[in-house]
């Protein structure tokens, strides 16, 4: 199959992934896009060398580059690294040499382009040669770092960032209501939210935690196809970024889930692998297989950081929470899989099972 031809110009959505373009209107971004160029480089090609003075600005769209400062050693920067949100080493003359590692795609524009467009909208709040991450960009940096830590493929991260929708929200708005069906994943771009929980209808609401800029919420109901387990309320006027459920599941959750069968992991159990049962202790104590740890789902986030990262954790039994348990444990850097077999299937293979004490 022939490789898809690279577009001549970037889109407004692509530009909006970079600083300072994320602060500009679509109308202005379209103007910039017309004067910017998409360029593909091969392994070993130089974007620029130390001492170069050409008035060009480069943004890394995909792939990885090696940046070598004068007198220093090379630093790898990928398109999902937080540093890639801003221009690549934009000092003039250049103080670093930057070259492609593998196939790389960049956005290139003349330094005068941004100055001209920004001047036309009477904005001098930034300079092309001094682009830095401001507080307004913190949410994006944190979210990209979060996706990067999950080891998502580059194309998935780019898809997610380009499909986020900005939603202004007023103080007091209930963004997510406990008991409702989930349809979006949210990130706090600006402002503060509080998580509120009710033990039962009519009970006094309990404030559990506050969520600040860069924090995400709403994944559990999306993964489980279930109801929201708490309400999220805006504490001040703010802005949220939201991602549709289908995009979140297809681009973030599914790529991270690994499925295994009992026969393949049985010989590793107790040595370098453990089964994980997230049901309540009273329910779990009667049906645990050997080499099972019981971590009730409600304390999973508290226990997960204390687990041995050298172990392989296989989630089983609780069909409702299998996927969300695996997803949440993955966020703590653990190696996690979901067991395909049902408990009855396992019992047909294993005749000796026993109670195993849980973790308090």
276 CB-near residues (< 8 Å, 6+ apart): 292, 293, 295, 313, 314, 315, 316, 325, 329
Q: What whole-number distance in Å separates Cα of residue 230 and Cα of residue 242?
A: 17
Only one residue has tokens 């289908």, namely 246
**Do residues 66 and 46 lie in contact, with contact meaning Cβ atoms separated by under 8 Å?**
no
pLDDT at site 1:
44
pLDDT at site 37:
93
Q: What whole-number distance in Å separates Cα of residue 317 and Cα of residue 249?
A: 22
Q: What whole-number distance in Å separates Cα of residue 35 and Cα of residue 107?
A: 11
| Closest CA relative to residue 240, chosen from 293, 165, 308, 140 | 165
Mean pLDDT throughout 69-92?
A: 74
Q: What whole-number distance in Å separates Cα of residue 293 and Cα of residue 270?
A: 11
Q: Is the pLDDT of residue 3 over 80?
A: no
pLDDT at site 20:
73
Mean pLDDT throughout 80-100?
A: 79
| Closest CA relative to residue 15, chosen from 103, 121, 119, 86 | 86
Other C-beta atoms lying within 10 Å of the C-beta of residue 32: 21
Q: Classify burial at 84, counting beta carbons within 10 Å of its beta carbon; exposed 0-12, middle 13-18, buried 19 or more.
A: buried
Mean pLDDT, the chain, as a whole number? 80
Peptide bond into 160 cis (omega under 30): no
The alpha helices in the chain, defined as continuous H runs, are: 12-15, 26-35, 111-120, 138-149, 154-162, 219-224, 245-248, 262-265, 281-284, 300-303, 322-330, 343-349
pLDDT at site 137:
57
pLDDT at site 288:
63
Q: Token pair of 208, please?
A: 């559990």
- In order of their start, the domains of the chain are 12-132 (2.60.120.10), 160-254 (2.60.120.10), 257-349 (3.40.250.10)
pLDDT at site 131:
32
pLDDT at site 122:
40
Q: Token pair of 167, please?
A: 């939603």
Q: Is the pLDDT of residue 118 over 70?
A: no
Q: What whole-number distance in Å separates Cα of residue 104 and Cα of residue 200?
A: 54
Mean pLDDT throughout 74-101?
A: 78
More confident residue, 360 or 200: 200
């Amino acid at each position: 199959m022939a490789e898809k031809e690279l577009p001549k110009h970037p889109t407004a959505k692509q530009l909006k992934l970079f600083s300072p373009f994320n602060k500009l209107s679509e109308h202005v971004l379209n103007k910039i896009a017309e004067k910017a160029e998409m360029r593909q480089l091969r392994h070993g090609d130089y974007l620029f060398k130390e001492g170069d003075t050409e008035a060009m600005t480069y943004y890394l769209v995909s792939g990885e580059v090696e940046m070598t400062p004068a007198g220093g050693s090379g630093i790898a920067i990928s398109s999902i690294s937080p540093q890639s949100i801003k221009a690549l080493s934009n000092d003039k003359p250049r103080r670093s040499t930057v070259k492609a590692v593998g196939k790389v795609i960049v956005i290139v524009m003349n330094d005068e382009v941004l100055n001209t467009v920004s001047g036309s909208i009477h904005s001098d709040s930034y300079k092309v040669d001094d682009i830095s991450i401001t507080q307004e960009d913190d949410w994006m940096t944190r979210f990209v770092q979060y996706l990067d830590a999950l080891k998502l493929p580059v194309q998935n991260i780019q898809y997610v960032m380009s499909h986020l929708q900005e939603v202004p929200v007023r103080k007091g708005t209930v963004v997510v209501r406990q008991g409702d069906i989930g349809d979006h994943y949210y990130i706090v771009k600006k402002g503060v939210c509080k998580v509120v929980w009710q033990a039962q209808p009519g009970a006094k609401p309990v404030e559990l935690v506050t969520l600040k800029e860069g924090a995400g919420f709403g994944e559990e109901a999306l993964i489980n196809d279930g109801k929201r387990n708490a309400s999220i309320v805006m504490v001040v006027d703010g802005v949220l970024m939201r991602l549709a459920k289908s995009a979140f599941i297809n681009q973030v959750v599914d790529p991270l889930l690994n499925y295994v069968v009992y026969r393949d992991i049985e010989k590793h159990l107790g040595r370098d692998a453990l089964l994980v049962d997230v049901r309540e202790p009273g329910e779990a104590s009667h049906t645990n297989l050997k080499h099972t740890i019981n971590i009730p789902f409600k304390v999973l986030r508290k226990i997960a950081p204390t687990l041995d990262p050298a172990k392989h954790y296989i989630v089983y039994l609780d069909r409702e929470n299998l996927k969300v348990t695996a997803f949440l444990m993955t966020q703590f850097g653990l190696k996690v899989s979901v067991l395909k077999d049902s408990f009855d299937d396992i019992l047909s293979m294993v005749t000796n099972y026993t109670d195993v004490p849980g973790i308090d």
